[in-house]
Structure 1
């Protein structure tokens, strides 16, 4: 069962880079596997997700927008014992638009809308005291921005509320370690990411723009407020091992600390005593699968996944609770030093009860999503 270095490297890169529809606002999964590749390595990829989230009970058609996000990474083995890396991804996000005309989620020709976008750049330095161990750490630079509009009977007196989270940057950190036995393609890695605290300018308006949301009774006109947004801490565990000639078993386990997560704009809280977004449970997810090298140029993977979600009932801005998934990936390697990879993943999205202000609005059931991904990798 002994595997050559290049076989190990090819199989390691096979985990499909398809989009996810995870608990809370989780999107990319924040993988650092590119940094654990042998030698010098670079990759670039793009993922697309096409979800369908509806509620027959509320007569809501598809309210989940398609979205895509790119990723990139570079890793340099500076010396026998020191490695350096940069990873770019978009770890958290949301993109939803309810149909206009449904009075539950629209009013005055406008519909409830949410857009949340984040960008991450992770810088890594690794120390390998032996060929088996790798200890790594580094800073994380992150930006967050969002725009949310609430419309319709679901929000009662808050229909017409708008908030814009101005782009804000902040820093966190990452640390972890990996153990490997290259001869049998065995690798285990544990990676911790810290929470990142943003305090962003958040202009709020209410009543379809007629009342400034940053003006509260008793405060001068134009009083501005900042809203705290704390992206959660997380732990990733990546496992792989050769189990037969040219065959690899792999798994990824992920924990994200969504419990007690809340976004509480000042004016919204003053007007309603509610949070804009909150979650009640931590997210747990797992992906397990097999990779196989069929020829010197062709390889493939198959994987199944589970995500617990971040609690139920959920916000109307993302009314699903976790998922089950199956995925397939393929890789073509024209030469030993580069490859092209593509993958597809199907999600059975968990049923959820949507709520606003702690009051259930209705159920969203029997939903699904399809994710696609493509990646190019190069060894130099």
Structure 2
């Protein structure tokens, strides 16, 4: 059942949308699958998310219109096999983020003709060195460089009419990655376990609200992005057909952002926190149809990170299904496109010390992905 390069690429590109509308602030899934490819390899991709998140507030009992903004994130990777035993890799992604905007028509989230809004963006570059003592084992590790920036606007009755602004400028910090992989090429078997450390950011926050006379106050703030573990599996199950799975754990239960002025003004509340760790899984099959075409299908599940959740992201996990198609004009490069539909979990929204300010249900998201891969 030995598979050629096109078949082995199916799992790598099984869906560019393989980890998208996940628990907490999780987005990219932090895959290192590009680094585990044979030989020299490079890829670039983009994923676009179109979520719909609506609900009802528990103050006025009015409908809350769609507050989830569309967003996209790119990814790229290059892996070089220096010798039979040593490989190097460089991976770029945007692992965590948030984009929300409440309409000014949602009265409890509006103040002075402005709606509550949040933007969180991270960027991550991971450098890996791998050691392959034989054709079956690969042991790898390396540093991870990460930046975080955030802008938050809290408006309306649900936040006590505080008219609160928070800005955190881009800050950089370092973490590390380590793992190992085992493979049997003849049957397309591959298993990889990868650990990523938490990364602690020591930043400066700029806050203002009605309690500061709308004057900006500057305070130190710590934000630690969570540690995680990824387990990736694949195996050949028939001629030109593989099964694959990804299982991911992220420690969101230890995550909190607590700006000093907001904590004082709200009686000790965090701006953002989660009560449970995230578990997610993607399981599917990929099949080569001929020398140029291949396809894949998957089912995904995400537990969420606890309920109630923040008003800045009021969903709890999801179920999803996806399809992908791959075209390879030549053996050494391919273009892959994928689409995923997700049923988002119902959630109760909270703010600070108020546990039930709204209910969000019957929501969904659609993700589209495009990836180009090249072997050199």
| TM-score normalised by structure 1 residue count | 0.95
2:108 counterpart SS class: coil
Whether the 8 Å contact between 1:213 and 1:267 is mirrored in structure 2 is: no
Instruction: Note the alpha carbon deviations across 1:298-326, whole angstroms, 9 max, x for none.
Output: 00000000000110000000000000000
How far apart, CA to CA, are the structure 2 residues paired with 1:105 and 1:6?
A: 52
Tell me the distance in 1 between the aligned counterparts of 2:56 and 2:208.
Answer: 31
Question: How many residue pairs get matched?
Answer: 369
- In 1, are the aligned partners of 2:54 and 2:67 still within 8 Å (CA)? yes
Q: Write the distance in 2 (CA, Å) between the matches of 1:138 and 1:94.
A: 27
Secondary structure class of the residue paired with 1:267: helix
Q: Aligned partners of 1:292 and 1:102: how far apart in 2? A: 47
Q: Which residue of 2 aligns with 1:373?
A: 369
CA shift digits 1:316-361 (9 cap, x unpaired): 0000000000000000000000000000000100000001123110
Structure 1 counterpart of 2:302 = 307
Q: Deviations over 1:78-104 (max 9, x none)?
A: 000000000000000000000113211
The correspondence for 2:289, drawn from 294, 303, 318, is 294
Cα distance between partner residues in 2 of 1:39 and 1:5: 13
1:5·1:182 contact (CA, 8 Å) conserved in 2? no
> What is the root-mean-square deviation in Å for CA atoms of aligned residues?
1.2
- CA distance in 2 between counterparts of 1:11 and 1:53 reads 32
For 1:172 and 1:209, locate their aligned partners in 2 and report how far apart those are by CA, in whole Å: 36
Where does residue 238 of structure 2 map in the other structure? 244
- Displacement of 1:209 in angstroms is 7.8
- Give distance in 2, aligned partners of 1:12 and 1:306: 18
3-state SS in 1 of match to 2:31 = coil
Q: Is the 8 A contact 1:5 1:183 kept in 2?
A: no
Given that 1:9 and 1:38 are in contact with CA atoms closer than 8 Å, whether structure 2 keeps it comes out as: no
Counterparts of 1:1-380 in structure 2 under 5 Å?
A: 2-18=1-17, 20-57=20-57, 58-158=62-162, 160-207=163-210, 210-214=213-217, 224-272=218-266, 273-359=268-354, 360-380=356-376
Mapped contact 1:319–1:352 kept (Cα < 8 A): yes
Q: Does the aligned pair in 2 maintain the 1:352–1:365 contact within 8 Å?
A: yes
Query: 1:53, 1:198 → 2: CA distance?
Result: 30
Distance 1:301 1:102 in 2: 41
Give distance in 2, aligned partners of 1:182 and 1:228: 45
Report if the CA contact (8 A) 1:101-1:107 is conserved.
no
